[in-house]
Structure formats: structure tokens, C-alpha cells
Chains A and B, each alone.
Chain A
Amino acid sequence: MNKIPALSPTVLLAVALLIYPLIFSGAFYLDVGVTFLLAAISASAWNIVGGYAGQVSVGHAMFFGLGAYAPLLCYKLYGWTPMAGIPFGIAASVALAILIGIPTFRLTGHYFSMATIAVAELIRIYFGTWDLVGAAIGLQGPATARGWWDLTFRSELPYYYIFLTVLAVLLSFTYLMERHRFGYYLRAIKVGERAARSLGVPVQQTKIRALVLSAMFTSVAGSLYSVKTGFIDPESGFGILVSVQMVIIAALGGAGRLYGPLIGALILIPLQTATNTWFGGGGTGLTFIVYGGIIVLIARYEPGGIYDLWEQISPRRWRRKHAS
């Protein structure tokens, strides 16, 4: 009796996502679906450290980019299936996360946010001049599949279900995290670091663990992206828009909420697709305007995102409906 109301939105959502490609089977809608899933995965990965722990990274593209380059680099250098590069991307991202976390989490204030922007930009610029990774031109994957293991499909449908599986795994992980000591510690750190420490919370170590986990999943998102598109360059891997999109999607839906990033992606991706379709090439400039507008709206009206807004409204609606 108790569990059903909490469970049913999850079931509805799962069913909706599972049957979406069967209803909207056109290439365009499928592409929107895949883009949505990738955005939801990236933002949910960001959410672990940016939302739950409140350590706002504006440079998560560094992990996305490493994850994106690794598969295509493995293919280029050794002719391996791009999939083989995924663990290398994760390893590199974990190492980078620890390297950034140790010095910046010691400091308070916005040092972490600033450091992440700087590091992501440095990596982007460096990759743009590094011949091994194709410099400014970037890397390409196999043009045609040598077998299923290349994960190179002509249809978007397989990608849709692969991405959906990854999203489900990530959200299940986050769900368990929320209920574990680690999740409580993250929320405590977010609202009151000083009080958390006084209760014995190992703040520094907990933040680093959050960043490492977040980096791992972001790296996987990057790998999924490059395996699917079969192409990566410094801008699409490490560009500031990649980082900012994760922040905006999570904040729009509700940072530090399980379904926040998913809700955010559900709104932003169709909106972005629409502006890109209507305005063609000028769409990229428009993306910045849309992002800027969303930042202003969140900052001004609802810092908790749509999720909190809904929570404020829905209990009242519920009470009215169930008033005896």
C-alpha cells in the first residue's frame, strides 16, 4: 500500500521510455530519443557530485571527452573494437578526478568550480594540438561494422536501448546511493560542511569519492557518444557547452534529485532540437541564449528546479483531491 504511489511514476516512466521507439519509429524522433538519453545519462552522472554533494563542476566535459576519445583512439592505434577503450577512458577520468579533487576540495568557495573550467579548457586546447589524437580534426571510428562488437549500427534503435540500459543502471546506482551512508553524507556536506565535520563525516574523502564516481559515469557517457557517432573532436568532447549542458539540465530538473536530470533533459532536449531545426545553423548561437535564459529563470525563481516546484504544488493538489 505504501510503496505503490512511490513506485508508479517509475514504472510509468520505464514503460514510456521502453515503448517510445515503437511509437515514434521515424529516424528524426529516434535521434531525439537517443540525444535525450545521452543528455540524461551525462546530467545524472554530474548530479552525483554537482547535485547531491553540491560541488558544482563546470568542467565535466573533461571526463566526457576522455571517455569519448578513448574508444576511437584504441580503434585508431590498434584496430580494436571501440568498446575496448571504455575502461581506459574510465581509468583516465578517475585519475584526473583524484588529481583535481585533492587540491581543490581542501579550499572552500568557488575554487572547485573554477578549477574544473580551467582544466577542461586546457585539455581541450591541448587535444587540439596533439597529433596522436588527430589534433583539431579529431578521431574517427570504423566506417562500417566488422561485426556486432564494433557497435556500429546503421539504425539508431540499438543505441537507444543500449543508452536506456546504461541510464537505468546509473539511476539504480543513484537510488541505492541515496539510501546509503554515503548519500546522507553527501547531502549533509552540501548544506553544512562545518556541522558535517563536527559529526565525524570525512568531508574531503567523501567529496573525492563523489567526484570519482561522477567522473566514471560521465566518462561512460562520453564513450557512448563517440561509439555511436563514430567521430570526436576537441569541441564536441571537451567543449564548454558539453559541461554547461550537464549543469543546466540537472539544475533545470532538480539538482540532487534522482529524477531531476531526467526531467531536465526531457524539457531541454526537445527545446534545443526545435530551435536547431527551426533556425538551422544559427541554432548554436541560440543554444547559448536558451541556456542563459534558463540560468536566469532558475536563479531568479526556483533554485530547486522543476522537481522542487512540483513538490511545492503537488501536496496541495493531493490534499485538495483527498480532502475528507
Chain B
Amino acid sequence: MLLEAHAVSKSFGDFFAVRDANLSVGEGEIVGLIGPNGAGKSTFFNCLAGDAVPTSGKIIFDGQDMTKAPPEAHARLGIGRTFQVPATFEGMSVIDNVMVGAFLRHPHQGDARDHASRIIELTGLKAQMDLAAHSLGTPGRKRLEIARVLATNPRLMLLDESLAGLTPTELQEAIRLVRKIHEMGITIVIVEHIMEVIMTLAGRVLAFNQGHVIASGRPEDVVKDEAVIEAYLGRGSHRVRRRSA
């Protein structure tokens, strides 16, 4: 297993945002995380990326205990993540944003620039290369986040609603991009509310509700699961697409 989370819990005061969550991801998989708002998906991601230290439980990546390791150590070992609310370096240009990621494996400026240019081409940001990140709009900034993480040469990418808020055409393009990333041999865990994305991309799905993993398995089975339908409360398991937070 590439990534293993054992009974991970995260509480804020008395409130458990994540409780006893288990997840194992094999090399080359695409795993989807679904669940209603506030279910604990992003909090779980933060634990996996070292952005939050779990209250209890254990996280193992490639045989190493990463439970308490800082985010920069996660990046070095090959865990990359995007943020639900894009956290691009606003005043910096698109290429400079990607270069910050590229510098992790390419300390020299020229090499980092070459690597970043390749990634920019791959992610379809070439036309906006010299624009400031803040001029991009949310979909563009989400794409830039993907590019930036990709530039760190990750083995595992954690995508937190990176495909939210796109038009249907943009969505198809983004799905193609995720596929391309997967074909590069990168393992992916993706949080998404859009069922279409989960159904087409994920080989396996975990459903969260109120901090608990309430179901897991093949996507077509999970969306039929009683508990999952219950959690989405009548919104209809096939129509849980909603605007991004």
C-alpha cells in the first residue's frame, strides 16, 4: 500500500471533524471521497498532507510514519495536495507559481523554469503563463494549483474539489487532465461533489458523513448505499452536484 490511514481522528475541542477514518490507497489507484458539506473530507485531507496533526491514529506513506511530519516533509516524500479554496501565490505570475513547486526537485533556476514550462504546457496554462495568478479566476487558479503540485513530482496527489465550479466544457477538459496525470503513474485521492467526476474517474469511493466513513467500495455500489443516500437526505444520490464552497 502506498498510503495507509489507521483510525485517524481529528477533533476541534469536543467536536470530532474526523473520527476513526481508515483508508488505504494502492499505487496507481484513483480513490474518490464524497460526503455532504462539513462531513470532514477536507479535514481528513489536511491530516493526510501534514497540515493538521491527527488527534489520534496513524498515517503511513510508503512504509514511513508520517502522522506528525510537517507538510514540507510530505512534499519531499511525494505527497502533493491542492486546497479547496485556491491558495495560489497571488502577486506572482503563473510560471513563477509553478516554479516554486519545481524548485523542490530542481534547485537551479534554469532547470526549474524548464520543468515548470513543461508542466504549464501539460496543464494547458501556456497562454496565461506570464499573467499574475490573481487575474486567473477560480477555475484557472484551481488548474494552477494542480500544475504547481505536479511540478513537485508527487507520487500521490490529494485533490480537494479541484474540479468544482467549472463549466461543462471546462469539466471535460479537467477530467482529461486528471486522467493524464494518472497515466503519468501518479496515484490520486480526489474529493468531489460532482458525481459525474467520481463515477468516471474513481475506481473506489469512500463516503464520509459527520466525520465517519459510512461506506466504501465501487462507486456504483456506494451511490446506492442506504446510509449514503440517507446522508445526502433526499437530495438524490445522483444529483448531489452543488456549487462549490
Interface residues of A (CB under 8 A from B): 179-181, 184-185, 187-188, 191-192, 194-203
Bound together, the chains give a CA A196 to CA B89 distance in angstroms of: 9
Distance (whole angstroms) from the CB of A6 to the closest CB of chain B: 15
B92 x A198 contact (CB < 8 A): no
B90 x A199 contact (CB < 8 A): no
Q: Does B104 contact A (CB under 8 A)?
A: yes
Beyond known contacts A184-B103, A188-B92, A198-B75: 9 more, CB 8 A cutoff: A184-B96, A188-B100, A194-B87, A198-B72, A199-B75, A199-B101, A200-B152, A201-B100, A203-B72
A185 x B81 contact (CB < 8 A): no
Bound together, the chains give a CA A86 to CA B168 distance in angstroms of: 65
Question: Who on chain A is nearest to B87 by CB?
Answer: A195
Question: B37-63 vs A: 1/0 string, CB under 8 Å?
Answer: 000000000000101000000000000
Q: Does B109 contact A (CB under 8 A)?
A: yes
- Neighbouring B residues of A201 by C-beta, 8 Å: 72, 100
Bound together, the chains give a CA A203 to CA B71 distance in angstroms of: 10
B72 x A187 contact (CB < 8 A): no
Q: Can you offer 28 A-B residue contacts whose CB atoms are under 8 A? A: A180-B109, A181-B103, A184-B99, A184-B100, A187-B89, A187-B91, A188-B89, A191-B89, A191-B91, A192-B87, A192-B89, A195-B83, A195-B88, A196-B89, A197-B72, A197-B75, A198-B71, A198-B74, A198-B75, A198-B83, A199-B75, A199-B80, A199-B100, A199-B149, A199-B152, A200-B101, A200-B152, A203-B72
- Neighbouring B residues of A198 by C-beta, 8 Å: 49, 51, 71-72, 74-75, 80-81, 83, 87, 149
- Neighbouring A residues of B149 by C-beta, 8 Å: 198-199
- Neighbouring B residues of A192 by C-beta, 8 Å: 87-90
Bound together, the chains give a CA A194 to CA B87 distance in angstroms of: 8
Question: Who on chain A is nearest to B106 by CB?
Answer: A181
B109 x A181 contact (CB < 8 A): yes
Distance (whole angstroms) from the CB of A290 to the closest CB of chain B: 29
Q: Does B148 contact A (CB under 8 A)?
A: yes
| Given A181-B107, A184-B99, A200 contacting B75 (CB threshold 8 A) | yes
Q: Does B70 contact A (CB under 8 A)?
A: yes
- Neighbouring B residues of A197 by C-beta, 8 Å: 51, 70-72, 75
Bound together, the chains give a CA A180 to CA B112 distance in angstroms of: 10
B49 x A196 contact (CB < 8 A): no
- Neighbouring A residues of B90 by C-beta, 8 Å: 191-192
Instruction: Tell me the residues in window 92-151 of chain B with beta carbons closer than 8 Å to chain A beta carbons.
Output: 92, 96, 99-101, 103-104, 107-109, 112, 148-149
Bound together, the chains give a CA A202 to CA B80 distance in angstroms of: 15
Bound together, the chains give a CA A200 to CA B148 distance in angstroms of: 11
Question: Who on chain B is nearest to A179 by CB?
Answer: B109
The listed residue with most B CB atoms (<10 A of its CB), out of A187, A197, A198, A202, is: A198
Bound together, the chains give a CA A195 to CA B74 distance in angstroms of: 13
Distance (whole angstroms) from the CB of B95 to the closest CB of chain A: 11
Distance (whole angstroms) from the CB of B101 to the closest CB of chain A: 5
Bound together, the chains give a CA A194 to CA B49 distance in angstroms of: 11
Distance (whole angstroms) from the CB of B97 to the closest CB of chain A: 8
Q: Does B76 contact A (CB under 8 A)?
A: yes
